[in-house]
Structure 1
Amino acid sequence: MAITQNFDSIIFDLDGTLWDSTANVALAWQTAKSKVDYVKDDITQQTVRSITGMAYNVIFDTLYPYLDEERREEFKTLCAKHELEILHSKGGEFYPQLAETLAYLKSKYRLFIVSNCQRGYIEVFLGMEDMLSYFDGHQCYGTKGQPKYQNIMDVVTDFNLQTPVYIGDTTGDRDSAQKAGVPFIFADYGFGKVDDGYIARISRFGDLQQLL
């Protein structure tokens, strides 16, 4: 069933909405762990999924509260380095019907990405399989170090968007969209659980072809 509201643009979350890179991010962080002697537990795909959607600095505060600030920053830097290296070579897993659905949406809307990731991460995604051609712009935590809702507002302002909608998979995405004054569509196939506060929900990325 289609939404009756008229939008001029769509802003997407990345992880859990457009792709799933958690397996290769876990591999990258485990590689970083092997180079230090102060991180206790192995890093699994489930570890990464448990913190997906958090701002990049908050992730390491959450997972490693027992580390002092210097070691936590050192490990975060190592993880970030290996993450980009491994994703450049291995990428992430696109959700089914991603390209064809983006092509359909691109014919009707301007498309953007706002994520809580590090600088360079969205660029890795955009460099895969001509993804760059679908999007007019993007913003992330790593660029300005500001909350997601502020990055959403900046994209709205910078690109003069009049009636955007935000699509994401976590309560953090919903809350950020609400703070930015943008309607929210919940992607329930992702990593989060959202009970309310959305104008619609999708169970597959391809559902957007019928919804919008």
Structure 2
Amino acid sequence: MLKPDSLIFDMDGTLWDASETYTAAWNAGFKAMQINKTISRSDLDYMMGWERRRVLEHTFPDYPEEKKEQIYDAIVAAQDKLLPQTGGRLYEGVSAGIAQLATKYKLFILSNCPVNTINQFLTYTGLTPYITDQMAHGVNNMPKHHNIKLLQEKYALQNPVYVGDTEPDQVQSDLAGVPFVFVEYGFGQTEKYALKFSHFTQLTTYFMAL
């Protein structure tokens, strides 16, 4: 793998765990829509990192498209209220690691999340000063490989890597033609990667030494 000029990070399962807040938001959204349904953290963790359409098809297979979108909008509205209050838990080493890595690389966040979620993450964690830019699936509803390429083009990135925690992250990295760096402490598993780390501090140490 060539020495990278930039690191593009997934968010959930890579930088933090906000599943408890997301679960509460989903159930608040169901309540607002008067849907007699609850979702558990394990249900949500299973879908973590999926694109919106796949999540809705999996969760509401028998609902018409318009109803699915209304439910999703209610969930996002609940999340927008809850996330700034209860946030999530940064994985150990992330706060110090991001600050270090930003002295050497352009850093980005790219996630299959609603439009406001990355900004809420940055505000809650105080990491805004270290991130060059970010891209959420909710902005254009496009897959990660497309959005990785958008960041590449916008910032003339020559050798970016994508850091994530699931097999879909690996697949999207391959489609974008960028090396995939797997962090195995997150929500998923994959057997294909250019590099693997079990702790964010290990990742930081490796890239700072290049």
TM range (shorter): over 0.9
Contact 2:110 2:144 in 1 (8 A): yes
Amino acid at match of 2:170: R
Question: 1:192-211 to 2 correspondence within 5 Å?
Answer: 192-196=188-192, 198-211=193-206
SS, match of residue 157 in structure 2: coil
What SS does the corresponding residue of 1:60 show, helix, strand or coil? helix
- Structure 1 unaligned residues grouped into runs of 5+: none
TM-score of the two chains, using structure 1 as the length reference: 0.94
Letter in 1 for 2:185: Y
What is the distance in 1 between the residues matched to 2:108 and 2:131?
Answer: 5
Identify the match of residue 18 of structure 1 among 3, 7, 15: 15
Distance 2:194 2:127 in 1: 26
The list of structure 1 runs, each at least 4 consecutive aligned residues, that deviate by more than 2 angstroms after superposition, is 35-40
- Secondary structure, counterpart of 1:201 in structure 2: strand
Instruction: Show structure 2 runs of 5+ residues with no match.
Output: none
Is residue 2:189 matched to residue 1:189?
Answer: no
Select which of 60, 71, 76 maps to 1:64.
Answer: 60
SS of the aligned residue for 1:102 comes to helix
- Aligned mates of 1:144, 1:5 — CA distance in 2: 30
Query: Matched residue pairs, number?
Result: 207
SS at match of 2:24: helix
Tell me the residue number matched to 1:158: 154
Alignment of 1:144 with 2:174, yes or no, is no
Give percent identity, aligned residues only.
Answer: 32
Say what the alpha-carbon RMSD is for the aligned residues. Answer: 1.2
Q: Which residue of 1 aligns with 2:25?
A: 28
One-letter amino acid of the structure 2 residue matched with residue 203 of structure 1: S
Provide the C-alpha distance between the structure 2 equivalents of 1:184 and 1:64, rounded to a whole number of angstroms: 31
Q: Please report how far the alpha carbon of residue 86 of structure 1 lies from its aligned counterpart in structure 2 after TM superposition.
A: 0.4
